[in-house]
Structure 1
């Protein structure tokens, strides 16, 4: 099937990507190709473009042809809906991105997922919600020595996370021993400090400069002696926010993160599925989606990193506004289908979600 943009009458879906140093479009190419295949099956068409490609009445971008397995440069009308897949926080912080956001906002064009999330802002929003608050580990923003020392003294074991980090990068586990020795665990090694003052003297600058948070360490439930987390995918539907799929990620040699890129492994959710888990997933997806859309603007897709403590309590660790690919083929296939259904739905300007949780 060749693509004739001039005679195409279905909805035009814009996928906002980034621009690299050599002016080439950067983003998740395989993901964009899968979306295009499904969009074409549903009567639409997608164009990938960057914030710098927007003109007053047109955009310049590239369109993927599955038949030719080729990307073709095009100039086309303003899309009916824009899916934000700008790949990095740095690119989202540029003036051109903010101008692009305002461009579509002023034209009342749905802007699907406003941007990356800040971990501490997320904690503040959720902690004010009576339904989600009980699932949150205690968390503080690291801004000065006294409050940080008090937090470590209270919990003895805490996690240090960059508020704007992703994929488990920059996460540490900090433990205060009975002899006041402090041990810092990274993904690959550990460092021992004679006391917390020594640790703070060395780490104050990076913790403050990179906007770290400190989070209570929750003793996790184990499978075969190792911790595991839930990874839950959610989308907005005509019935509200719903769970699209769920997977299990188990830690490898280190216990800091279960990310597969850091040695974690995949366990089929069906191995431990139970009604209580399903009800928790559905509750968090519905509440989190409404709160995110209220605070930042419409969220159509996000994933949830959650877990279970050793005493059987559910924990929300993180929300991801731009989920990575799910390794479970059935979930990823359903994800593509759910996204395209939502694109077509929103392109018709119908039933945008309420901003009231």
Structure 2
């Protein structure tokens, strides 16, 4: 279906929040935005792009960007303040900017505007939050903040491998794996360090821990890292894989699992991330090869249960209203579920059925927020610039 670049005034208005761009009007994944605009149009919701720069919390009218599918053109339009804002600010550095923070805090104080997922997650905070609840602590690998050599050394004494991840990393960038093993000749403890590159990893070997630590310090630089127990995750044709779950709130405002995908590691990669050489695959096929159909059904059920418990705990501890998150989970060789990572700004899932449902859920949850907020505030219809 085609949709007009002029927003109908009677429809609820959802704003996709992003950063301005002098050359391109705004930044972000345009195809993602167009998909959401199209889904909104099909569901009776007007969706437009709003930049932090144009968002004036005290004003009744602001500039929004609308898309016309017939001409394939973006255009500016004067709109009312959207009643719901979906935060897709693309970079942590943008979000941390003092001016951006001032605007976000001003929006959060406005009762008539609801914003969900107002901030990126910090990996260390996530593991701290999840370790504090019985419902989630069971899924968490041993994790420490990597501030000195003794944190890594003590973990390597307990576990044969330890992963190191940047606290503010994304898409597998900067991940390393340290391993302890016994040398073949002299039977002494030796160490290996795998450093993730663009499509594979480079392995360095050291006879002493001090040499391993010197290389790690060189790789880390000034960035903050966590160190985490390595898990013996299940493999398919000798390649490790993990599960990617999308958890979103539905039309009732309740957490639900939208879909589960799988990511198979590249042949020379220490992560399963697609930008690092990983590939998309069918979780049922991969799990069934190791656990059979009944085992697969049980594992996927446990993964769903874990994801919902984690989503609730993260939202509770973050102190913010969240509407979605993606999660990376590992399955060990015994069928145990392990939580590795969560992302408050999920990249789009390429599995068509998950993709379609994910877009619908964003619109459904936005409608839920508008409906419940209007009941509380007695607000005018969202998006009417004359309100």
Identify whether the pair has TM-score above 0.5, normalized to the shorter chain.
Answer: yes
Structure number, greater radius of gyration: 2
Q: Does the Cα contact within 8 Å between 1:13 and 1:80 map onto a contact in 2? A: yes
| Aligned mates of 1:152, 1:224 — CA distance in 2 | 27
Question: Residue 62 of structure 2 aligns to a residue in which SS?
Answer: strand
How far is 1:15 from its partner? 0.7
CA distance in 2 between counterparts of 1:211 and 1:351 reads 42
Quick one: higher RCO (CA 8 Å, sep 6+), 1 or 2?
2
Q: Secondary structure of 1:143's partner? A: coil
Report the Cα offset of residue 21 of structure 1: 6.2
**Contact 2:6/2:66 (<8 A) preserved:** no
- Using the alignment, how far apart are the partners of 1:147 and 1:230 within structure 2? 28
Secondary structure of 2:372 counterpart: coil
Answer yes or no: is 1:150 the counterpart of 2:154: yes
What are structure 1's unaligned runs of at least 5 residues?
353-357
**Matched residue, 1:240:** 254
Q: 1:23 Cα shift?
A: 6.8
Which of 345, 355, 362 aligns to 1:339? It is 362
For 1:292 and 1:67, the matched residues in 2 are separated by 41
With normalisation by structure 2, the TM-score equals: 0.85
Q: Distance in 1 between matches of 2:224 and 2:38?
A: 40
Matches of residues 290-309 of structure 1 in structure 2 within 5 Å? 290-296=312-318, 297-309=320-332
1:75 aligned residue: 78
- Once residues 221 and 37 of structure 1 are traced to their aligned partners in structure 2, the CA distance between those partners, rounded to angstroms, is 39
More moved, 195-204 vs 243-252:
195-204
- In the superposition, the TM-score normalised over structure 1's length comes to 0.92
The verdict on how the C-alpha distance between 1:239 and 1:18 changes in structure 2, with shifts beyond 3 A counting, is: closer
Q: Which moved more, 1:271-280 or 1:240-249?
A: 271-280
Equivalences for residues 1-357 of structure 1 within 5 A = 1-5=3-7, 7-20=8-21, 22=23, 24-55=25-56, 56-57=58-59, 58-108=61-111, 109-178=113-182, 179-187=188-196, 188-204=201-217, 206-207=219-220, 209-237=222-250, 238=252, 240-271=254-285, 272=288, 274-296=296-318, 297-349=320-372
Cα deviation for residue 351 of structure 1 reads: 11
List per-residue Cα deviations over 1:246-298 (Å, max 9, x = no partner): 11111121241111222212222342463323322331232222222222211
Structure 2: state its 5+ residue gaps.
183-187, 376-387
**Could you tell me which residue of structure 1 aligns to residue 185 of structure 2?**
none
- Runs of 4+ in structure 1 off by over 6 angstroms are none
Shift in alpha-carbon separation, 1:142–1:11, aligned structure 2, 3 A: same
CA contact (8 A) 1:142 1:207 kept: no
Aligned residues: 351
- In 2: Cα distance, 1:9 partner to 1:118 partner: 39
Q: Deviations over 1:119-176 (max 9, x none)?
A: 1111111111111111111110011222332222222311110011010110011112
Distance 1:121 1:43, change over 3 A: same
The 1-side partners of 2:284 and 2:356 are apart by 17
* Alignment correspondent of 1:355: none
